[in-house]
Amino acid sequence: MVVLSRNVLDGHFPSLVRTCKPPAAELEDVPAIDLLRPDAGALLVRACEDRGFFKVANHGVSAELTARLEAEALRFFGRPQHEKDAAGPADPFGYGSKTIGSNGDVGWVEYLLLSANLDVPSDAARSALLWNLPAFQAAAEEYVAGVRNVVYRVLDLISDNLGIEPRDMLSSLLRDKNNDSCFRVNHYPASPKPLQGLIERRNLVGFGEHTDPQIISVLRSNNTSGFQISLRNGSWVSIPPDDASLFFLVGDTFQVLTNGRLRSVKHRVLADGRRSRISMIYFGGPAMSQKISPLRCLMSEGEESLYEEFTWYKYKKSAYRSRLADYRLGAFEKSKARRN
């Protein structure tokens, strides 16, 4: 992290320290789904409908690989600030610290944001500096490949249960050789000792509330709390950490593909200033040219499309002009008069 000068604190702390109380309750019944159960598809769909969120244990991504990637990431984040800054700024790929996106959002976080599709030459080139960290690159590539396979299985099971044909219609959006998936490693450092007295536990904004624009996101973190989701009634709940599971989040694009049957989940991280947190997230995005609109096979007769058709390029561009907490799908909703 940057050395904390008074300026940095004056500039960032008013918006980082939350005043909300009491702390969010823990969600006791996080849907935990075993993909080998015969009713896994039905459970996945129910979890996506109810919460836009679930976790998968026994997913097959090796714990040793995950630990190796986490160790490599921590090794990077432990480097002197000027070395980390040389891998930045995150525009969007690269190293970033305290600023998220380019529209004024800040958080108590530093991160690496990379393309997860090195077959797209321009993205590969922009991520090159980072992928050049050989041990990190090897672990990250292997990890992303493993997570992707779990994502394909999950999407195919969801498709079976929703009656989407062919069953790989969703997963093929992410298998596309031009897919725009990315990978992020977030590090929420423990706050410096002198500040701990000033900051109330769990009231430091690590990553402000937002939905993910892509189809689906897969998050894994170490055993430090701080991740929260917003339930459909608008209340925030803390998700108990579970470093052996993969947490899945429905993104905005999935919401559109299902014409709102599944809804993207709002989430945030309120960092625990006393313990550092590290998370790694795969964001499954389609190809830039992919047209996004509700899947016909999911719409009942006479059902109207709630959204204007857009390409992923157009949605992403609009998303990257927005602030984290903005409701990004609003600009693509059809007015009642224009639905068909």
Ligand X SMILES: O=C(O)CCC(=O)C(=O)O
Ligand Y SMILES: C=C1C[C@]23C[C@@]1(O)CC[C@H]2[C@@]12CC[C@H](O)[C@@](C)(C(=O)O1)[C@H]2[C@@H]3C(=O)O
Closer to ligand X by CB, 92 or 260: give it: 92
Residue nearest Fe ion by beta-carbon distance: 212
CA distance 129 to 306: 41
Q: Which residues bind ligand Y (CB under 6 A)?
A: 92, 100-101, 103, 105, 113, 182, 184, 210, 212-213, 283, 319-320, 322-324
| Partner from ligand X, Fe ion, ligand Y, none binding residue 81, C-beta < 5-8 Å depending on class | none
The answer to whether 267 contacts ligand X (rule: CB under 6 A) is yes
Say if CB 252 and CB 315 are below 8 A apart. Answer: yes
The answer to whether 212 contacts ligand X (rule: CB under 6 A) is yes
* Helices and strands, number each (H, E), in the chain: 10, 15
Residue nearest ligand X by beta-carbon distance: 279
- Token pair 């992020």 is found at 184
Binding-residue total with Fe ion (CB under 5 A): 1
The widest CA-to-CA distance across the chain, in whole angstroms, is 62
CA distance 59 to 171: 17
Stretch that binds Fe ion, among 139-147, 184-192, 207-215, 296-304 (CB under 5 A): 207-215
Both structure tokens of 322: 């927005």
Closer to ligand X by CB, 166 or 240: give it: 240
Phi, psi of 206 (to 5 degrees): -85, -50
Bridge partner residues of 268 (DSSP) = 228
Stretch that binds ligand X, among 190-198, 219-227, 237-245, 288-296 (CB under 6 A): 219-227
The answer to whether 212 contacts Fe ion (rule: CB under 5 A) is yes
Closer to ligand X by CB, 263 or 267: give it: 267
| Partner from Fe ion, ligand X, ligand Y, none binding residue 223, C-beta < 5-8 Å depending on class | none
Closer to ligand X by CB, 186 or 255: give it: 186
Q: What count of Cα atoms within 13 Å lies in the side-chain half-sphere of residue 272?
A: 17
Give min distance, CB of 340 to ligand X, in A.
33
| Partner from ligand X, Fe ion, ligand Y, none binding residue 56, C-beta < 5-8 Å depending on class | none
| Partner from ligand X, ligand Y, Fe ion, none binding residue 320, C-beta < 5-8 Å depending on class | ligand Y
| Partner from ligand Y, Fe ion, ligand X, none binding residue 319, C-beta < 5-8 Å depending on class | ligand Y
Give min distance, CB of 322 to ligand X, in A.
14
- Please, where are the H alpha helices in 163-251? 169-175, 193-196
223: number of Cβ within 10 Å: 11
Residue nearest ligand Y by beta-carbon distance: 101
12: number of Cβ within 10 Å: 18
| Partner from ligand Y, Fe ion, ligand X, none binding residue 269, C-beta < 5-8 Å depending on class | ligand X
| Partner from ligand X, ligand Y, Fe ion, none binding residue 53, C-beta < 5-8 Å depending on class | none
CA distance 318 to 312: 10
- Spell out the residues 6+ positions from residue 213 whose beta carbon is closer than 8 angstroms to its own: 251, 252, 253, 285, 315, 316, 319, 328
Both structure tokens of 249: 């989040």
Q: Given candidates 216, 256, 281, 292, which one binds ligand X under the rule CB under 6 A? A: 281
Residue of 51, 148, 263, 277 marked catalytic: 277
Task: Give, as one character, the DSSP assignment of residue 312.
Answer: H
How far is residue 30 CA from its own chain's centroid? 17
Which parts of 153-192 interact with ligand X (CB under 6 A)?
184, 186
Residues in the chain: 340
The answer to whether 328 contacts ligand X (rule: CB under 6 A) is no
126 is catalytic: no
Phi, psi of 329 (to 5 degrees): -75, -15
Sign of the dihedral through C-alpha 280, 147, 117, 215: negative
Binding site for Fe ion (CB under 5 A): 212
Active site residues: 277
Binding site for ligand X (CB under 6 A): 184, 186, 207, 212, 219, 221, 227, 267, 269, 279, 281
